[in-house]
Amino acid sequence: MRDCDFEEMGLGSYISFLRKEACEKKMPFKGVLELTPRCNFSCNMCYVHLKPEEIPAIGRELTTEEWLETGRQLQRAGVLELTLTGGEPFARPDFRQIYESFHDMGFMIQIFSNGSLIREDTMEWLSRRPPAAMRFTLYGACNETYEKVCGVRDGFARVERSVELVQAAGIPLYLAATVTRENERDLGKIYQFAAKRRLPAVHTASLLNPVRGASADPKSHQVERQLPPPEALRRLREQSKGRFPRKPCTDFLSVCRNYRSGFWITWNGMLQLCAFLTEPAVPVTPGEDRFMECWECLLAELEKLRQPAECASCRYEQYCERCPGVLYAENGSCSRISESFCAEAEFNYLLYGSPIEE
């Protein structure tokens, strides 16, 4: 790594510097550990959730000791940032043990959760070793919507209480909403909920196909997109300056920085480039100190990824949100296109690039 003056830069800039360096040098720097496919919710669009009785047919969850050994390997490999997710990470009975050990290993940790299993004693415990940040995913703005989307009665009330507890503990929190047909009407209220508490919030309406054996049918819950009336379209264009706000991943290697320094380890111990790209995947065998070997293997496979040939001459190319993971989830291959996916890019063109018809 290049020389830099840590004192002069401050911690935030120093970490950004390290991130950039790791990306340039293709060093593993940030990982997502999907601790479990279990969850106390049963969301109808979930790409990963499995019931406990479904798990054995698909794989075996890493044990506590296996996760800890994996953590030690990541530590030796120089990884700094970890995201702990699931399923619902707090649904693992040994979550506290895993988290404490990772924290003591010096990782900067963020926790992704549905926010429903956090009680007073959880926060008391977590405040002793606070994470760098927490993210709660919201599925509605009232209990009724939670029942429709997640199959639980008092989901929103529980999340609302958890938000209070996390904020009272001073732990940085942000919200992410998953929008489906069943909760799209709540989106405005979700943003109001966030604004009232001065919490950053984002949302996505893009639902990808399940992976690793989950049996949900996300596409049947996907919101149907409709072009807004001309006046609203004009305002949108003014805000976006006529440009599609999300950058397409035109070159799999140079654009998606995640793939050069980030990785995902699934609940059954497979090292992948992201949640959806289940090929290439290399088993991380805890107990054998071969994480760097697995990482090199993954990078070699990354070099072989090619985008679909059709994309090179496609008129909607600049409006397309393709990336290897998304294409893989759509088609089971990142070098193949699908009609429904390309229709999304055409819609983005109509939204951001086409002449506005009165």
Q: 73 or 266, CB closer to ligand SF4?
A: 266
Q: To the nearest whole angstrom, how small is the minimum distance from the Cβ of residue 317 to ligand SF4?
A: 4
121 burial (CB, 10 Å; 0-12 / 13-18 / 19+) is exposed
Residue 201 forms beta bridges with which residues? Answer: 175
Side chain identity at residue 155, one-letter code = G
Q: To the nearest whole angstrom, how small is the minimum distance from the Cβ of residue 257 to ligand SF4?
A: 20
Q: 146 or 263, CB closer to ligand SF4?
A: 146
Q: 80 or 320, CB closer to ligand SF4?
A: 320
Secondary structure of residue 296 in the 3-state scheme: helix
Does residue number 221 form part of the binding site for ligand SF4 (CB under 6 A)?
no
Q: 73 or 348, CB closer to ligand SF4?
A: 348
Among 42, 192, 204, 254, binds ligand SF4 (CB under 6 A): 42
Secondary structure of residue 135 in the 3-state scheme: strand
Does residue number 264 form part of the binding site for ligand SF4 (CB under 6 A)?
no
- At residue 70's C-alpha, the angle toward residues 273 and 61, to 5°, is 80
Q: To the nearest whole angstrom, how small is the minimum distance from the Cβ of residue 320 to ligand SF4?
A: 3
Which residues touch 336 (CB under 8 Å, ≥6 apart)?
308, 327
Could you tell me what percentage of the chain is helix, strand and coil, using 3-state DSSP and rounding each to the nearest 5?
A: 45, 10, 45
Q: Which two tokens stand for residue 341?
A: 């996916």
Among 22, 27, 39, 270, binds ligand SF4 (CB under 6 A): 39
Q: Are strands 270-272 and 281-283 parallel, antiparallel or unpaired?
A: antiparallel
Q: 269 or 308, CB closer to ligand SF4?
A: 308
Q: 74 or 91, CB closer to ligand SF4?
A: 91
Question: Contact region for ligand SF4 (CB under 6 A) — 46-54, 57-65, 167-175, 224-232?
Answer: 46-54
Write down how long the chain is. 358
Q: Which two tokens stand for residue 65?
A: 């000791």
Q: How many CB atoms lie within 10 A of CB 91?
A: 20
Does residue number 147 form part of the binding site for ligand SF4 (CB under 6 A)?
no
Among 32, 36, 49, 328, binds ligand SF4 (CB under 6 A): 49
Question: Contact region for ligand SF4 (CB under 6 A) — 9-17, 36-44, 61-69, 180-188?
Answer: 36-44
Q: What is the DSSP string of 132-178?
A: SEEEEEE--SSHHHHHHHHS-SSHHHHHHHHHHHHHHTT--EEEEEE
Sites for ligand SF4 among residues 63-122 (CB under 6 A): 86-88, 114
Q: Which two tokens stand for residue 354?
A: 């086409």
Contact 136, 73 (CB under 8 A): no
Sites for ligand SF4 among residues 268-327 (CB under 6 A): 308, 310-311, 314, 316-317, 320, 322
Q: To the nearest whole angstrom, how small is the minimum distance from the Cβ of residue 9 to ligand SF4?
A: 37
Of 184, 221, 216, the C-alpha closest to 203 is 184
The secondary structure element, H or E, covering residue 20 is helix 11-25
- Applying CB under 6 A, what is the total number of residues that bind ligand SF4? 25
Q: To the nearest whole angstrom, how small is the minimum distance from the Cβ of residue 336 to ligand SF4?
A: 9
Which residues touch 200 (CB under 8 Å, ≥6 apart)?
174, 175, 194
DSSP designation for 273: S
Task: Draw the binding track, 239-258, toward ligand SF4 (x: CB under 6 A; -: no contact).
Answer: --------------------
Q: Which two tokens stand for residue 285?
A: 């065998």
Among 187, 266, 342, 352, binds ligand SF4 (CB under 6 A): 342
Residue numbers at the binding site for ligand SF4 (CB under 6 A) = 39, 41-43, 46, 48-49, 86-88, 114, 137, 150, 308, 310-311, 314, 316-317, 320, 322, 337, 341-342, 345
